[in-house]
Amino acid sequence: MKLGIVGLPNVGKSTLFNAITGAGAQAANYPFCTIEPNVGVVTVPDKRIDALHDLYHPVKTTRAVVEFVDIAGLVKGASQGEGLGNQFLSHIREVDAIIHVVRCFGGSDVVHVHDAVDPVQDVDIINMELILSDMELVDRRIDRVTKQMKGDKALAGELAMLQRIKTALDNGQPARSVQLPEDHSLSDLPLLSAKPVIYAANIHENDLAYHDELASQNPYFAALCTLAAEEGAGILPICAKVEAEIAELAPEERSLFLDEMGLPCSGLDRLIQESYSLLGLISFLTAGQPEVRAWTIKKGTKAPQAAGKIHSDFERGFIRAEVVSFDELMRTGSLAAAREEGLVRSEGKEYVMQDGDVVLFRFNV
């Protein structure tokens, strides 16, 4: 999973990136501090992997990973090249989802690129630049498909889809707002505004105490919540400054700090959980003496395709999957004990994988 962190200059992108990845990207109080995208890879926190590691004592333990890309601050006119915008926009095309950092705190200690804090305006500026960039791409595709249709009427469905997207873009709506037929997708058309979005509301550390009442206490956050609901986007309140402090602590001190702040888990944990939910991802697990490992797949993936994540031969020669739920495996204490209780199921090619399945694939090639 590759997540791009975007936003206006000086909203806390690089501070948040540094905190969640420990990659040490430069963070300073002036626009365009980030030019080239910084990249950090982090492991996905998963207590199930810890438990399986303790159960099997494997030679190797491999967690799922998330790649974060800190993309430089976008400004109005980015789609026409302002602020190195074309270069920055090209980096967004490569990510699976966008983490849009939005400033939701007042004060003048950190300069705002537009001299006033207005989360909705900030979001609109970024969204419009993505939309304008997409307009050019869609117009070119429409011209190409229109010419090809003279000899291939089967392209009529694609043209209708493109025209629906163009109408939405012309009205200032992102491509992700367009409901597409099941037999059409945008997989081969890398539209920026089609990417799923999580709004990371960068709040003041004092606001962390409000928890569920945050929207009633912070008008900036309340306005962003309304916008996210209208778009069907995710939203996550987070304090980049506090996350940076957490990142500097030793692992054993972090839980104490989180308890003192009244936080159930770190911003990284919450961001990854929200990202998995937004993208419809789950994890299945493989466990044994050689290796304990988490594998990330889309919800709805069937067993042969899940096996293919491990190796193409597993999918090609798939026979069956021996499956036990993580909870049942841990309750019984071993795969043999789970098998004795009839908890290990033999599943075929139509089995849809579930989050937390512990699987042994049988194949023959």
Residue 208, both tokens: 């962390």
pLDDT digits (tens, 9 = 90+) for 22-50: 754 444 333 333 445 677 888 888 999 99
What would the mean pLDDT of 153-160 be, rounded to a whole number? 82
Output the pLDDT for position 32: 37
Dist. CA 79–CA 64, nearest whole Å:
34
For residue 58, what pLDDT is reported? 95
Q: Can you give the pLDDT at residue 359?
A: 97
pLDDT digits (tens, 9 = 90+) for 309-358: 999 999 999 999 999 999 999 999 999 999 999 999 999 999 999 999 99
Percentage of the chain with pLDDT > 90?
A: 44
Q: Mean pLDDT over residues 209-234, rounded?
A: 89
| Residue 281 identity | L
Q: Residue 93 has what pLDDT?
A: 83
**Per-residue pLDDT at 61 exceeds 50:** yes
- Cβ neighbours of residue 358 under 8 Å, at least 6 residues apart? 52, 284, 285, 286, 287, 323, 324, 325, 326, 329, 335
**300: burial class by Cβ within 10 Å (0-12, 13-18, 19+)?**
exposed
Average model confidence (pLDDT) across the chain: 85
Close Cβ partners of 29 (under 8 Å, ≥ 6 residues apart): 10, 110, 111
Residue 295: pLDDT band (50, 70, 90) is very high
106-130 pLDDT, tens digit each: 876 655 555 678 899 989 988 888 8
Highest mean pLDDT among 20-34, 143-157, 212-226, 257-271: 212-226
Strand order in the sheet with 291-298: 60-62, 291-298, 281-286, 357-363, 318-325, 345-347
How far apart CA 178 and CA 198 sit, in angstroms, is: 18
